[in-house]
Structures are given as C-alpha cells and as structure tokens.
Structure 1
C-alpha cells in the first residue's frame, strides 16, 4: 500500500469532458490546449484544426470501430505514451453510436444492436476512459449536448442540459472526469465554458475555484 501526502498532490494531468450542440466550438477549443495534442477523430470535424503545427490527428474508423478502437488505445500505451501533452477523443457521443452500429452489423438482427451490444459498448467506453487516464497526458473527451425535463425531490421541474452519453454509464463517465464544461456563446460572440453546476446545467470543476472560463483558458499550465 502506497501512502501519499495530500500536500504532494498535483494536477499536471487531468481529465476533461466538454459538451455542447454541434457547431458551438468544441473542436476549435483544441487549438488553445498547451503543448502537443493528439486528436482521435471519430466525428470527422477536425477540418477546423487545419494548419495547426502542434496537433496530430488519427481518424478512427466509423465502420470497423469495435476492433480498431481497441487497437488504437493499446498502441497509445505501447508506442506513444509520454509523447503528447493532451489526448482528445472527439467525440464520445459519436463513438458510442459507431461502436453500437458496428456490433449491430455483425449481429443477427438486420443491423440493429441487441441488448447485449449495448452492455458491451457501455463497458468498453468506461474501461477506455480508465485506461486513457493513465497515459500521462491530459485527457479531453468532447460530447454533444442533450436535455430533458428534470423533477427534483421537492417537485420542481427544470430543463436540464448534460452530455449526450448513454444514461446507464453517464454518472460513471462524468464521475471519472475532473472537469465537465458546457460551452456557451455570449451575446457578443465570445465563447466560454460553464464549470459550475446549476439546476439546469451539469458541470463541475475539481481542479480550481473557477466557475467558468474563456474558451482559450480551459487548460492552464500549473
């Protein structure tokens, strides 16, 4: 058993999840990440990163996703550990759908995923997150945004926004992240992240006391 004093803890590497509707600037935010960044492009939106010298891109197959995703995360450990400051999965919402689609295409239900396929996908997503957290880099997942009508214990109802992740694993995924940020655009066009939860927004920040930040200041060097 290894005991570490809390005084010695640092957050040189952390895990982030940023979410918002398509086109809000999640992928563009990658331009401001400090250091060298590797993007695992699932949803094919990395065209906005054209010309960026410190960003490398791997295009994840959106047809043979189940086998290729496993090979990619294993290769990151074997060949690329320590070579990047940031590893980005863009995005988890599409990754879920691609994994399910691939599993369904190999099944016996005319391409429709079975209940078992959903369970396979859920375990693969959570296990991938745990694995990638140990590669010595900031880990950043992007996700699309969804919403619902939430009723609290007192009977009050709220329109609640949160990342589009399978609900059976959403708390597990978000609980493994240090920061969950919702991207918004102000009236003047400036983009930024909400980092503090409200009744209508899922967000959190376990790294510092910021309740929000500019788009370019999500990850700050310590």
Structure 2
C-alpha cells in the first residue's frame, strides 16, 4: 500500500485525466497543440496528420486491424515507454471500440458477426486497458471520443436526450468516473470558434473538478484556474435539449 498523503500538500492538477468528446472534425485532436510540455499521441483513429509540424509531439501509430495485439504491446512496460513525456493522448476510444468488435467478428464462427460473449468480454477488457493507463501513467492523460446521444430520465420524470461520449453503456460510466474533466467540444456557427463545455446539464454530460470554469475556448482548456466565464464568441449557447414528461416512469 502506498504511503498516506497530506491533503494540504496535494495538487489538483498534477497528472490530470481529461476526456474531450464531440463530432468528428470539431478539433479534438488539434487541441493537442495547446498542451504544455512534451506529448505522446497514441493514434487510434489515424487522425494525427493534423499535428504535422508540432515540435513537442510524438505519434505512436496504431494498426487498427489488430487492436488487441497493439494494446498489449503498448501497455508492456508502460512507465518506461512514457519516460520523458509530460502528456499522453489516447485518440480516440470510440474508434478503438469499433475496431475491437470488428476484430472479434473476424474470429467468430461465421467470420463476420459478433458473438454474445464478445460484449461481456469488451466490458472487462476495456475497463482493464483504461484503468491500466489511468493508474500506471505518471503523467497527464487526455482521452478523446466521438459524441453520441443517450436517453436519460430526470428526478422529475422528464425524459431528455443527452450528449455523451460515444462508447458502450457498459463501460462509459466507469471511464467517465475516472476523469477529472469531461468536456464537449463545440463550434460556434456564427464565428467558427471552438469552445469546450465543462458544466453538465440534462442536455450535456460534462464535469470539471479541477477549477470553477463552466466553459472555455478550446485553446484555454488546459489553463487551469482560469475565469469561470468566457466570451460568447467562443462557446455557443446550448439548447436545453428536447424533453417530454414521463411522470412516474423510469428507464
């Protein structure tokens, strides 16, 4: 067991864990250029070309045809692999999930479809992979994902469609619980500026336990301790989300 730490000496922002999610093309991978220090990007979705020319960024290619083997190799001696880096970027877990199920389908009886045990295996497998990354990586970890909508029911019985990272329900809550910050990346249609929503609502899954910001421009997302308000030109006003009352009902 590790030694007891005194809370007064602990740092909120040391070895942070952040998840950024959003539609393809909104700038999740490009946000890497705002990370201070030296960064290693695990390129799970072949989107690293947007990082070309950045001096403090290294890219670890990932063979999407054999994700299981690639992850096993990457996690072997992980602390030594990450030595000298300040940040690790796992980009992105939504693509990894799809590729993993494709690989499992190739090993099935018909060589295409997934079998029932694949889904329970995925829950244990993904949890083990991400827990290893989050627990063993002695540096900052940024994880990206595409976005999805899920149905939730509020305490008052209203049903909402909520934006959340695109990952299967069986592993999503566990992953989100490990993160310090979860932000939805959005683009202001009037200014084309990119922003990150950091405060959760019925319409958007987000959280920020590192500082008081509820939203920020994407170039400021890693600047902790900033002002809680940002210019409206950076982050568009979000609709509250369509809802309909389902009194006394639950999911």
TM tier relative to shorter chain: over 0.9
Q: Are residues 1:113 and 2:88 paired? A: no
Give 1:201's aligned residue. Answer: 204
Shift of 1:14: 0.7
Within the candidate set 173, 176, 185, 2:175 is matched to 173
**Residue in 1 that maps onto 2:36:** 34
1:100-153 CA-partner distances (Å, limit 9, x unpaired): 111221221322121212222222222122111221111111000011343323
Structure 1 distance, partners of 2:165, 2:138, is 25
Q: Which runs of 5+ in 1 are unaligned?
A: none
Unaligned stretches of 5+ residues in structure 2? 226-251
Cα offset, 1:213, TM superposition: 1.6
Kept in 2, the 8 Å contact 1:66–1:103? The answer is: no
**Distance in 2, Cα, partners of 1:162 & 1:193:** 13
| 1:191 match | 194
Match among 214, 225, 239 for residue 211 of structure 1: 214
Cα deviation digits, residues 159-187 of structure 1 (max 9, x gap): 21000011011110100111100001122
Q: State the Cα deviation string for residues 170-205 of structure 1 (Å, max 9, x = none).
A: 110100111100001122121111111011000001
Q: Is 2:42 the counterpart of 1:22?
A: no
**Structure number with larger C-alpha Rg:** 2
Q: Is residue 149–residue 162 contact of structure 2 (8 Å, CA) maintained in 1?
A: yes
Does the alignment pair 1:98 with 2:104? Answer: no
1:30, 1:140 → 2: CA distance?
9
TM-score w.r.t. structure 2 length? Answer: 0.83
Is the 1:174–1:180 contact (alpha carbons within 8 Å) kept by the matching residues of 2? yes
How many residues align? The count is 221
Task: Calculate the TM-score normalised by the size of structure 1.
Answer: 0.93
Corresponding residue number in structure 2 for 1:135: 137
Q: Structure 1 residue 220: deviation in Å?
A: 2.8
